[in-house]
Copies of this chain bind each other. A is one copy, B any other.
Amino acid sequence: MSNRLRHLTTLENLPRETIERLLDRAGTMRDGCAHGTRKLDLLAGRTVLNLFFEPSTRTRTSFELAARRLGADVINFDIGFSSTAKGEELFDTLHTLEAMHMDAIIVRHKESGTPESLVRHAMSGVAVINAGDGNRAHPTQGLLDALTIRQHHPDFSDLIVTICGDVKHSRVARSDVHAFSALGAKEIRLCGPASLMPDPAEVPGCKIYDNFDRAIEGAHAVIMLRLQKERMAATDLPDEQAYFTRYGLDGARLKRAAPGCLVMHPGPINRGIEIATDVADGAQSRILEQVANGVFVRMAVLAEVMGR
């Protein structure tokens, strides 16, 4: 595998074959698990470290499980979330961890670009995996969303997918767009209040909507983003109820989508703000499949970057 990934910092510019290889492998791991294979030993003897500068119990746990199910040791490096480590201080931490012979570092940081900085400053063969940096990228989320869609809708060439909410500040949305574009999605629609939409130049090929009823029309998958409540002010909507009325997903609105449209959300959900309870828990919801796929995608990524 001469072109295997050494790091995963973003899905941007990643070749379609690479993304498909990762999804194929995650799918194989999912099948193995369904047939009772609880653990593999691909990473026996390896050490994976969680370096989270922002708290995220769900994502950290998903990575921890993925690494352990491959037989790796996992260290949670508790840096304290008050730490604003950057620059030399951050690189000294990196070099210390390399000196301890870490095989992979999974990093979450509020500054966009931190994972690439780590890659540039790394002195050993340590693999860096981005678990979310600023507003920029959350590549394993993009992969798990692609895997979830592909499971139900294998041919992306006629796929219409709608992403709704605070797209502007969402690393999930950015990584989704990169994944779906690379896989040849027919149409990617972004929807939300104008103040929460990205610059169109940033998302070439995407269609931007203000009207969710139109954005969801005929969609095969709809991804609802979590509303950060402190962003409400930017929406020009008086309250959460008004936000839900315009940009929330309820049963009536879902009927405008294609039959069987997949309902997705990166979680944790705000019921009644971006998504109605009956839709979140309904037959079309794939939210828990996303969680399950998250572990398999992270297993595939860990195995890839560590060359196993």
Contacts and interface: CB of A to CB of B under 8 A. Distances in A.
A234 interface: no
A85 to B, nearest CB: 10
Contacts of A80: 55
A295 interface: yes
A38 B65 CA distance: 21
Contacts of A65: 47, 73, 75, 100-101
- Chain A interface residue count: which class? 35 or more
A2 to B, nearest CB: 23
A290 B39 CA distance: 34
Contacts of A92: 267-269
Given A92-B267, A288-B96, A46 B57 contact: no
Interface in A78-126: 78-80, 88-89, 92-93, 95-96, 98-101
Interface in A259-308: 267-269, 271, 277, 288-289, 291-292, 294-295
A75 B64 contact: yes
Interface string A122-134: 0000000000000
